[in-house]
Each structure stands twice: as structure tokens, then as C-alpha cells.
Amino acid sequence: MTTAFKSFAVILQLAFWFVLFSVILFISIYSADVPAALNRIVLLFICHLIDFYICYSVITPLFIEKRKFELAGAALLLLFCLITPVRIWIEHEFASTRFFGLGTNPHHVTLGLAILVEAAVAAFAIVARLAATNYGRILKKDEEDRIKLQNQLSFLKAQMSPHFLLNTVNNIYTLSLSRSEQGPDYLFKLSSILRYLLHECNECVTLKQEETALNTYVELFKLQQKGKLNLKIEFDVQDENRRVEPMILIPLLENAFKHSGLGLHENAYVERLPKWLTN
């Protein structure tokens, strides 16, 4: 169970016990016989605790959540048969205790009333457990979806060909040996895209950042090819500040370069990315 699920379950239980204890305390606080009233509060509270947690921790997860309703009904019936006599005994034992200046009449605490009270406690326990379980399932599904998406994004990021990076480094090294003025410029472009890949795209990025990375990638790709390339990239977006998952488009661009035959065939070209990819 996740921390959030446990916290939600604890909050539900604390809220229930706070309300229940407040009701019992409110009924008993004006008793003339304080020790007897305190004993009654403690004993009733213990009965409700037993009723609640048997339903919450045993009956609901073992029977109700598994749709074994006949067994759940039998278990509830057995629970009420065991706890109701104790509940009635407590009321009879403290029948002389005066609450709000009035004495309690043991004959007023009928079997039906005792069962009704314990059934209400059991019903809340069942509802609370089902709500907590459902909340836990939602959290678990969200976590699984998040991990799945993260794995997919990591896979996409890993699709940037290591051969591309290696060839780029070799080409920059060649430029440096020839003392070309382009060497520092391409080295800066390479460091920019590596910085973007390693540090700037752990979270969502803007389309403007993704566009800059794409253009840098294109410039590095041109460096690898000899001669003029028929290459035109248009990044047509309506909102440059829209945030998207990073490194989604570069693998697509890599595949477009790979399968277009750029640098191998004279008529090969890549013209634009479809709008649905960038909007």
C-alpha cells in the first residue's frame, strides 16, 4: 500500500472514531455517577472497536471485496450474535446511571436497537474499507501509468543513435585538426544538445525548447554529410510556450533521416513535420 492510501484510510478511521466518541461522551458527560459513566464509555467504545475492525479488516477484504456475499452475510450475522448480548449487558449494567438528569431504562435498550447501532458501525466500516480500497486502486493505476509513460519516454530518449553522436564528435575533431572556424561552433551545438538531453528535459519542456533542439540536431546532421543536402525543416506551431514531454520528436526526425536516404540519394529529401506532431 502506498503512503497516500494509508493516509486516506487513517483519516477515514480517525474521523469516524472522533464523531462516535464525541457522541458517546456527549451523552454521558452530565452523568451524576462519573465512574459508572466512564466505564460505560470505555466498554461501549471497545464494542464498537471490535465491531468496526472485524468488518474493516476481515469481513470486507476477505468476503465483500471478493464478492462472496453469502459468507459476508453469515460472518456479519455471527458477529452481531456475539456482540449484541454484550452490548445489551453494558446498558443493563449501567441502567441506574443518570444522563442529563434522567435515568436510563434497560427495557428501552431492545435487541433491535442494539443490532441497529452495531449495524451502523459495521456499515460505516465496510463503506470506509471499500472507499479506501478504491482510492488505493486509483493511486496504483496512476503510478503504473506514470511509470509506463516514464519508461516509454526513456526508451524514446535512448533512440538517439550513439553512432550519430560518435560521428559528430569525429567530424568536430577533424574540423579542429584543420583549424576550421566552424569547429568551435559545432562543438557548442553538440554541447547544447547534450545538455538538453541530460539536464534540461527531465521534466516537460516548451515547444520552443524542442524546436531549438531539433534545429541543433539538423545542423549536426548536416555536418556528417558531404555536399549540399535537400533538407528543409518547418516547425509550425501555434503556441511556442505549450509544454510537452521532451525528446519525442528527435527520434522521429532521426528515423526520417535514416529512411529518406539523405546523403545517399540525390533526390532524397525531408520537407516538414506534420502539424499533428507539433500542435
135 and 239 assigned to the same domain: no
12 and 100 assigned to the same domain: yes
56 and 133 assigned to the same domain: yes
101 and 217 assigned to the same domain: no
Note if the pTM is more than 0.85: no
Residue ranges in the chain whose pLDDT is less than 70: 1-6, 8-9, 20-21, 23-37, 94-110, 151-161, 199, 201-203, 225-237, 259-279
15 and 149 assigned to the same domain: yes
267 and 168 assigned to the same domain: yes
187 and 146 assigned to the same domain: no
117 and 178 assigned to the same domain: no
Amino acid 64: pLDDT: 92
pLDDT tens digits, residue range 179-222?
Answer: 777 888 888 888 888 888 776 766 678 888 888 888 888 888 87
d(CA 152, CA 55): 42
d(CA 183, CA 175): 5
Amino acid 74: pLDDT: 93
Last residue of a domain, one of 154, 177, 195: 154
149 and 189 assigned to the same domain: no
Count of the separate structural domains present in the chain: 2
Long-range contacts of 215-222 (CB under 8 A, 24+ apart): 216/189, 216/192, 217/193, 217/250, 217/253, 217/254, 218/253, 219/186, 219/189, 220/164, 220/168, 220/186, 220/189, 220/190, 220/193, 221/164, 221/257, 221/262
121 and 232 assigned to the same domain: no
10 and 93 assigned to the same domain: yes
Distance spanning both ends of the chain, measured CA to CA: 38
Quote the domain boundaries for residue 12.
Answer: 3-154
**Residue 145: other Cβ atoms inside 10 A:** 10
